[in-house]
Structure 1
């Protein structure tokens, strides 16, 4: 059964303040946040719906919050991101980040709540977050089917006078929906920013019979150079056995593999570039 929510002013049409407090004390009503009540304990989705009841009618979900609803929420944080027209005063609510926008928006209802359109959400993030985090957003937005390359390009043009649009304009042509995780996208961007050829994401390697044998995170097929990101999933015993068998087969097939970790990505990107440049040369 879905949770029923009411604003306090709606309840006061039929109940007194004292009666509301009595029902809360008996758990017949649940106070979700100031001025909003529910008929039962709430989950995260209900609490988000309750928050929207506290906001101006023009409020829509945006940025990280909207991205999660569209399926490309690779940037996690606890704040709820709301967009309002520039003329509407910003409400002050705990846990809420309010963004004013001068661009008009036609909200899209996603799972019952109004959001900025997916392309608008992706480009807003691409122009406002760190460059290394921006490309993963665009990649996953494409992979999730929430946007198309043409929609991203059109949205960048609409943002042409806004802060950070240069970064978004540079990254949108590089976006590739084949990337399967945030770190793969970041590794690809480090190589591109290092002025190396663009590696192919999720590259299949075939055996002599033309059967796909293994898939690499990134690679240069003509040079038979493969590039992999090793995350925590590679630490299990079963995965280690699989990796060793895979590495031996690739080596015997003439592939030169290079592996990188989170330390390489976030602390020494120059080492990543130098390693791959040496392999290519």
Structure 2
């Protein structure tokens, strides 16, 4: 059953202040946030709907918050990001980040929530976040299927006069929907920025019968060099056994594997570039 939400002004047309307090005391109404009440417990979507009721007309979810609704929310952020027309006063609410709308935007509605369109949301993030986080956004946007590369390229043109658009323009041609995680995209960007040949994401290695046996995060198929990010998922004992069998099988097929961790990715990217350059040469 859909949760019903009301502004207090609407409730006060039919209820006295005393009656409103009574209904709240009996849990017939629940205060979601200041000035907004609901008829039952609220989930995250209801909380967002309640927030939008407190904002001026034309407000829509944007940036990381909209990206999660579109299916490419790879950036973690507990704040709520909204976009507002530049002509309305900026509200000050806890946990809210307001972005001014410079370009005309027609919202798309996702599960009852108005959101900035997917391509605009992706390019907004690609031009305003740090470079290492921007490519994972574009990769995931393509992987989700809600945008195409042509959509992103066209949106970059629309943003041509805005801050950070140069970064977005450089990264859109590098985006690849085959990437399966944020760190994989970041690892690929480190190699590209190190002026190495573009590695292929998600390389399948087949056995002698032609069956796909194992998949590698990134690879140079012709040179049989594989590159992988080692995260927490590899620390489980069963996963470790599987990884050892996998590494031995790939080694027997002539693949030279190189593994990197978060320390390599975020603290010494030059080590990654030097290691792969040496392997390629």
Bin the TM-score by the shorter chain: over 0.9
Residue 99 (structure 2) aligns with: 99
Cα distance in 2 for partners of 1:18, 1:163 equals: 52
Cα distance in 1 for partners of 2:251, 2:40 equals: 60
Residues 22-45 of structure 1: CA deviation (Å, up to 9, x unaligned): 211221110110110011121111
- Structure 1 residue 237, shift from structure 2 partner: 1.1
Residue 256 (structure 2) aligns with: 256
* Matching of residue 247 in structure 1 with residue 247 in structure 2: yes
3-state SS of paired residue (2:103): coil
3-state SS of paired residue (1:213): strand
Instruction: Show structure 1 runs of 4+ deviating over 3 A.
Output: none
Residue 51 (structure 1) aligns with: 51
- Structure 1 residue 109, shift from structure 2 partner: 0.5
* Matching of residue 143 in structure 1 with residue 143 in structure 2: yes
Relative to the length of structure 1, the TM-score reads 0.98
- Structure 1 residue 164, shift from structure 2 partner: 0.4
- Structure 1 residue 209, shift from structure 2 partner: 2.4
Q: Which stretch of the first structure deviates more once superposed, 116-125 or 19-28?
A: 19-28
3-state SS of paired residue (2:249): helix
Q: How many residues align?
A: 281
- Structure 1 residue 173, shift from structure 2 partner: 0.4
Cα distance in 2 for partners of 1:211, 1:147 equals: 32
Residue 65 (structure 1) aligns with: 65
- Structure 1 residue 210, shift from structure 2 partner: 2.0
Cα distance in 1 for partners of 2:17, 2:263 equals: 57
Cα distance in 2 for partners of 1:238, 1:26 equals: 52
Residue 8 (structure 1) aligns with: 8
Cα distance in 1 for partners of 2:166, 2:229 equals: 28
Cα distance in 1 for partners of 2:250, 2:26 equals: 66
3-state SS of paired residue (2:147): coil
What root-mean-square deviation, in Å, do the aligned CA atoms of Structure 1 and Structure 2 show? 0.8
3-state SS of paired residue (2:67): helix
Residue 177 (structure 2) aligns with: 177
Residue 130 (structure 1) aligns with: 130
Cα distance in 2 for partners of 1:102, 1:144 equals: 27
Residues 185-229 of structure 1: CA deviation (Å, up to 9, x unaligned): 000000000110000000011122222111100000011100011
| Unaligned ranges ≥5, structure 1 | none
- Structure 1 residue 146, shift from structure 2 partner: 1.2
